[in-house]
Amino acid sequence: MQFDTLPFDEADRTQAGQTAPQRLGVDDQAEGLRRMLVSNQTQIITLVAGKQGVGRTSVTLNLAAALCSAGRDVLVLDENPAPHNLTDSLGLFARHDLLDVVQGKCALVDAMLAGKGYAILPVARLMRVLDKLNPAEQQRLYHILAEVSSGVDVMLVDGAMLAGSSAISSSLASGVRLLVVMDASASGITESYALIKRLALENARLRFEVVVNKVASEEAARLAFGNMEKVARSKLSARLEYLGYIPLDDRLKRSTQLARSVVEAYPSALSSQSCMALSQSVLKMTMQQDEMEGGIARMMKNLIKQLARQRSTAAVSE
């Protein structure tokens, strides 16, 4: 992903293409093998939540910052409209978005926004009209997404709330990891389970990763996760993976007021350390190669096909 206006270190990429040194440490060899095994495919992770107010956008922002700190190239797709989206939380103004690029109103670089070490692409308007794009616009979209994801290790999607079965969100597409953000309250567990149930029954999604946010301790986080995991396993045959927790932390609130990630503003804070631990858990949980094949462009193709099937089914039933 090459944009002159974005803060990426091109020297690292150039160096990656050069002949490897003759003597490599064990860690260097392991990292090189890992990259060969995944064929440099972009990991696409959509963050979703069963209700408002659990901090999904905050988790997205801080996870992006933590992944960058771990040396990964990160792109964030912002599915949510202003004023309560990730772009707004960083004090950024989006003059253009992905729909403008698809419609030929601006260049891709004009729609990209720069976070602290990662890039942000607003896609809220596009997601709302995704099933209305004509074939030429769809092809343009695929080419744009292939271009924007080039060189990206992890693509995070701050997923729009799924208000109904007809809601358009990248979380409905195959080839995408789902990270459910929940809190430890009774309503948090109930609403998160309801979301998982709907995605499992209506979209055949049986694998979910979970992070517990705004919780007093890891013990409380694991208790909340355990209660939901048991029900999901017995009732839905769904596989839930605990990735970590983010504690209640005044410094996290303060960093939000400063329009910065806690990882950047307060790196020694407990919430910052939890975000760094979460990023490592995310990197360890890789998808199977066949699930990853095709990246973001295939994700959108699958989603558009699914929406077309939904329209066809609805027309037949009327």
106 found inside a domain: yes
| pLDDT for the residue 201 | 87
- Distance in angstroms (rounded) separating the CA atoms of residues 205 and 306: 14
pLDDT at 199 over 60: yes
315 found inside a domain: no
- Distance in angstroms (rounded) separating the CA atoms of residues 99 and 101: 5
CA torsion angle 125 256 69 278 (round to 10): -90
Preceding amide of 83 cis, omega within 30: yes
15 found inside a domain: no
Q: Are 115 and 73 spatial neighbours (Cβ–Cβ below 8 Å)?
A: no
Which is more confidently placed, 32 or 194?
A: 194
- Distance in angstroms (rounded) separating the CA atoms of residues 293 and 238: 23
18 found inside a domain: no
Number of domains making up the chain: 1
19 found inside a domain: no
7 found inside a domain: no
| pLDDT for the residue 308 | 67
pLDDT at 112 over 90: yes
279 found inside a domain: yes
26 found inside a domain: no
pLDDT at 9 over 50: no
pLDDT at 63 over 50: yes
Which is more confidently placed, 165 or 221?
A: 221
pLDDT digits (tens, 9 = 90+) for 178-187: 999 999 999 9
pLDDT digits (tens, 9 = 90+) for 118-131: 999 999 999 888 88
Provide mean pLDDT across the span 58-65: 96
Provide mean pLDDT across the span 173-201: 89
Domain that holds residue 137: 40-310
Name the band, by pLDDT with cuts 50, 70 and 90, for residue 211: very high
| pLDDT for the residue 225 | 95
CATH number of the domain where residue 46 is located = 3.40.50.300
pLDDT at 20 over 60: no
